[in-house]
């Protein structure tokens, strides 16, 4: 069974942001792939901060 993208997210951006996102072409990706990859990387970082925490000797 292959994974298929079925959900959709619409995004409104300023023209300057849209122009900057054309950098996706430099990575040989679509703008959608570029945004999704970046968003998922950031989400992973945020979630990692919530999953990993240190305890000192007293705790």
In this predicted model, what pLDDT tens digit does every residue of 23-46 receive, in sequence order?
999 999 999 999 999 999 999 998
For position 35, what pLDDT does the model report? 95
**What are the domain boundaries of the chain?**
15-50
Share of the chain above pLDDT 90, in %: 64
**Interior angle at CA 4, CA 36 and CA 22, nearest 5:** 30
- Over residues 8-27, the mean pLDDT reads 94
Residue 29: burial class (beta carbons within 10 Å; 0-12, 13-18, 19+): middle
pTM for this model (two decimals): 0.69
Question: How much is the mean pLDDT over the chain?
Answer: 87
């Amino acid at each position: 069974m292959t994974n298929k993208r079925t959900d959709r997210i619409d995004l409104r951006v300023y023209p300057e942001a849209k122009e900057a996102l054309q950098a996706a072409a430099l990575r040989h990706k679509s703008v959608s792939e570029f945004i999704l990859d970046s968003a998922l990387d950031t989400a992973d970082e945020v979630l990692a901060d919530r999953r990993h925490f240190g305890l000192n000797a007293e705790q």
